Structure 1
Amino acid sequence: MQEQSQPGGKSGQAGKAMVQPKHLGCVGLSCFYLAVKASEEERNVPLATDLIRISQYRFTVSDMMRMEKIILEKLCWKVKAVTAFQFLQLYHSFIHENLSCERRRYLNFERLETQLKACHCRIMFSKAKPSVLALSILALEMEEQKLLELTEALEFLQLHSKISNRELTFWKELVLKCLTEYSSSKCSKPNVQKLKWIVSGRTARQLKHSYYRITHLPTIPETTS
């Protein structure tokens, strides 16, 4: 997918469409299903009927297929867009090569990934180009860790990614504000009970004869670093 957003998110307004609240569930599940089909092997892709049952939505498979078509048309059928996470991986790999062995520990990728996840919890960052968001996070971390020897490497990435100083500065400020609030003790933490996906006995029985099985997944650790 081509990156079209500009500082402030004013571009791409012509193709912008409002989604009615009653359709949000269908949009969300359809996007999830498209992502699974684009990234997973076919044998790991669940049936649409199973996803609808587990999610406990009331729309039909036909509704979901129609929504998929609408989403694909909005995306110009380009479902394998490069993400901010992939840019972050590429940038981190390049920057790492320019660090001495003893300094590499100051640029921890897991920490950068956590910061990206925190930004993705804010709707405003959906307006940022993936490349700009990734470079903003990396640049702030380099400043935090005082890795001054990487200034030229960062400028090289910015130049070849065609990111302007104005654009980078704009999103760096928003990322800094987000991460500062996220790491604050005043930040509202999610209610663990609301994050649990509870499947009723009836739903489980409906899925019993399907190849798709409900498994107990390990807890996903959350850090504020």
Structure 2
Amino acid sequence: MWKVNVLKISTNQSVSPAQRDAVVRWLAKLKHQFNLYPETLALASSLLDRFLATVKARPKYLNCIAISCFFLAAKTIEEDERIPGLKVLARDSFCGCSSSEILRMERIILDKLNWDLHTATPLDFLHIFHAIAVSTRPQLLVGLPKLSPSQHMAVLTKQLLQCMACSQLLPFKGSMLALAMVSLEMEKLIPDWLALTIELLQKAQMDSGQLIHCRELVAHQLSVLQSSLPLNPVYVYHPLKHSLATCDRGVCRSHSSSSPGPDLSKDNSKPEVPVRGTTVFYQHLLATTGCKHASAKRKVEEMEVDDFYDGIKRLYNEDNASENMGSVCSTDLSRQEGHASPCPPLQPVSVL
């Protein structure tokens, strides 16, 4: 018996879809900042869309409208002790408007919406469809043994709130958007997902063509969000067999040949990961010193003499420091002892 809200997108709206999406993402950050329920963010986004569909708002008032909808949603959904104070909300949200301006905008929003704040949101329908799917298909979460139904619902809720920040999905009903997300999730978990989707479609009395179109847009939006996540590169130590550092006319060069064996840093399923070995370290040292043997000798003499700095002294060939600066100096690092450093040798990690 819920009243399903169908938005009528105004063609003469001054607020662009990109501005609307940006302000909804801002409200999502405020939801995490004040530790509020997901239902509060869903209702705030619904109130914002309903108001923008009714009134031709100017972009400069968009933040004030959004924070007022957020405050109304918090007072409707949250417990009294969880509702942030108006002054605290205006100050910590950096909305750019005062408490009195939020109260005036709040009254305007209530008048335009006829004081009706209890329309069903897409998150309400997502709870219903997910409960029906789990109860009728107990094997739904067999492939996800580490997730309980409530934890699985939390994952879907996060995806739904991200999709609600996409203006391309505004023409669809909230029930259609929720069913599209549940259908996409069931397609990955159970083989008879199509039969359950048709069953839910008949219960909700929705058009199958619109559901197909909504599924395509939701799948595209989720894929874009997944691809926009930051990568987590792994740097693998790759030992070098020989590394020669030469200095000719003030120009430093580093020559290296990698040891035979498989390259652990390459993976066919992932982009190639750069490998940082000892060559980069020595090349950085040579570039900073500029092969100035006299200054390098003074710096080495000021350091403590131990096994590690003995290796660096052999690297710069301090015994022949009295030779002419224009001559070519070379040091064969392969002549160093294999375990001269007190640190244990690095071992390559396995790439799964």
What SS class does the counterpart of residue 55 from structure 2 fall into? coil
Cα 1:166–1:44 change in 2 (3 A) is same
Match of 2:167 in 1: 123
Q: How many equivalent residue pairs? A: 183
1:85 maps to a residue whose letter is L
**Would the aligned equivalents of 1:95 and 1:150 in 2 still touch at CA under 8 Å?**
no
* Shift, 1:76, TM fit: 2.7
2:92 maps to a residue whose letter is I
Report the TM-score, using the length of structure 1 for normalisation. Answer: 0.69
Aligned-partner Cα distance in 1 for 2:109–2:99: 15
How do 1:70-85 residues align onto structure 2 when only pairs under 5 Å count?
A: 70-85=108-123
Q: Give CA-to-partner distance per residue, 1:64-112, whole Å, 9 cap, x none.
A: 12211222233332212222122111111111112244x4234743432
Which of 35, 38, 59 is residue 21 of structure 1 equivalent to? 59
Q: Give CA-to-partner distance per residue, 1:114-149, whole Å, 9 cap, x none.
A: 32133123222333211100000111122233x233
**Would the aligned equivalents of 1:26 and 1:59 in 2 still touch at CA under 8 Å?**
yes
Bigger radius of gyration among the two:
2
What SS class does the counterpart of residue 6 from structure 2 fall into? coil
* Shift, 1:188, TM fit: 6.2
Match of 2:200 in 1: 157
How do 1:104-123 residues align onto structure 2 when only pairs under 5 Å count?
A: 104-106=141-143, 108-123=152-167
Match of 1:148 in 2: 191
Report the TM-score, using the length of structure 2 for normalisation. Answer: 0.46
Cα 1:57–1:171 change in 2 (3 A) is closer
Match of 1:136 in 2: 180
* Shift, 1:58, TM fit: 4.5
Match of 1:32 in 2: 70
Q: Give CA-to-partner distance per residue, 1:176-212, whole Å, 9 cap, x none.
A: 111122222xx266xxxxxxxxxxxxxxxxxxxxxxx
Aligned residues: CA RMSD: 2.9
* Shift, 1:164, TM fit: 0.4
Aligned-partner Cα distance in 2 for 1:141–1:42: 35
Runs of 5+ in structure 2 lacking a partner? 12-49, 145-151, 231-352
2:130 maps to a residue whose letter is H
Match of 2:344 in 1: none
Aligned-partner Cα distance in 1 for 2:96–2:53: 28
Which of 125, 128, 142 is residue 90 of structure 1 equivalent to? 128
1:84 maps to a residue whose letter is P
Aligned-partner Cα distance in 1 for 2:68–2:10: 26
Greater relative contact order, per chain length (Cα 8 Å cut-off, separation 6+): 1
